[in-house]
Amino acid sequence: MSVRSLRANSAAGGRARRRRRQLVGRVLLYLAVLAVVAWVLAPFAWLVISSVSTRAALTSKPLQWLPDHIDLSNYIDIFVGGGSSTSVHRSVRAGALNSVIVAGLATLVSLVAGSLSAYAVSRLRFRLKGAFLATMLATQLLPTVVIIIPMYVVFRSIGLLDTVFALMLADIAIILPLITWILKGYFDGIPTSLEDAARIDGCTRASALFRVVLPLSSSGLAASGMFAFIIAWNEFFTAFILSSTLHSKTLSVIVAEFSSKVGVDYVAMATAGVLTSLPPVLLALFFQRYIIQGLTAGAVKG
């Protein structure tokens, strides 16, 4: 056998070994991904199954993993009401409405105010600018338990305790610094020459912001709005302290009270859990294109 044949066989054997290693690595990677997906989705899948099961199926021995028939009575009683609707269903309905109002208004106000403050920090020069940014960053390092007592005292003194407006203000105080920091990074990446060109054409600074800067920052606005909504929707501690009746209790507080209100009504608890987790999931799926654009913004130059 010639030297050339030996080299060719050795190269072919090396390529085959590399392909086998690549195949094994890819299979192990897919198995790891499937394990992580199952670990993450299995609790939520069981939550959904429990919400459409009956109490007898959930408490049966051995455990019945899949129900014989789908029972949507809890969802119907929550959204539609009726003769079988109980105080539990009414409390979930009221908490869901309060959560939508609080999270929606807090997100809207935080985006508007955060856009203006981020633009000012990014484009304008003023004294104590560094101290202002450091103060905003310091507020994110403080735990909520540190500021909840001053919030409680202030809201009690102005008569806003147990109101949706108080929860909205508390969420804005938590979200606004984060939104300002995120949008400042996006505004810093937009060339000022675009605004200069718009101002030469007759735009004011505010008009340049709304016609040039904000449209170019649509992915950042979408990502910031999603983060703001999720934070406001999932906020529990401030809602638990500042609310005491169904006039202002959010869905997260209602779910936390199930253990004392309904005992072992696992179906109602699972239904409320699905309703609580569904809006952030749908929001992330709807805005995933903008989120990916926001995460990859600035990754490539040129």
Distance CA 251, CA 103 (A): 11
pTM: 0.79
| Nearest residue to 48 (alpha-carbon basis) of 286, 288, 285, 281 | 281
Distance CA 223, CA 181 (A): 13
In the chain, domain spans: 3-51, 73-296
| Nearest residue to 120 (alpha-carbon basis) of 221, 205, 191, 228 | 205
Q: Contacts by 236-242 with C-beta closer than 8 Å and gap 24+?
A: 237/144, 237/145, 237/148, 238/144, 238/148, 238/151, 238/167, 238/170, 238/171, 238/174, 239/102, 239/167, 241/148, 241/151, 241/152, 242/151, 242/152, 242/155, 242/161, 242/162, 242/166, 242/167, 242/170
DSSP 184-243: HHHHHTS-HHHHHHHHHTT--HHHHIIIIIHHHTHHHHHHHHHHHHHHHHH--HHHHHH-
User: What is the token pair recorded at 88?
Assistant: 């539990």
According to DSSP, residue 151 is labeled H
Query: Cis ω on the peptide bond leading into residue 62 (within 30° of 0)?
Result: yes
Distance CA 168, CA 175 (A): 10
Distance CA 272, CA 201 (A): 54
Quick one: pLDDT at residue 193? 85
* Alpha-carbon distances, residue 11 vs 5, 7, 8, 100, 281 (angstroms): 10, 6, 5, 64, 50
Cβ proximity of 234 and 288 under 8 Å: no
pLDDT (tens place) for every residue of the chain, 302 residues total: 555 665 566 666 667 777 888 888 889 999 999 999 889 888 888 888 888 887 777 777 777 777 777 878 778 777 776 655 667 777 888 888 999 999 999 999 999 999 998 888 888 888 888 888 888 888 778 888 888 888 899 999 998 888 999 999 999 988 998 888 888 888 888 888 888 888 888 888 888 888 888 888 888 888 888 889 989 998 888 999 998 888 888 988 888 777 655 555 677 778 888 888 888 888 878 777 766 665 555 444 44
The topology under which CATH files domain 73-296 is: MetI-like fold (1.10.3720)
Quick one: pLDDT at residue 196? 82
User: What is the token pair recorded at 29?
Assistant: 């990677």
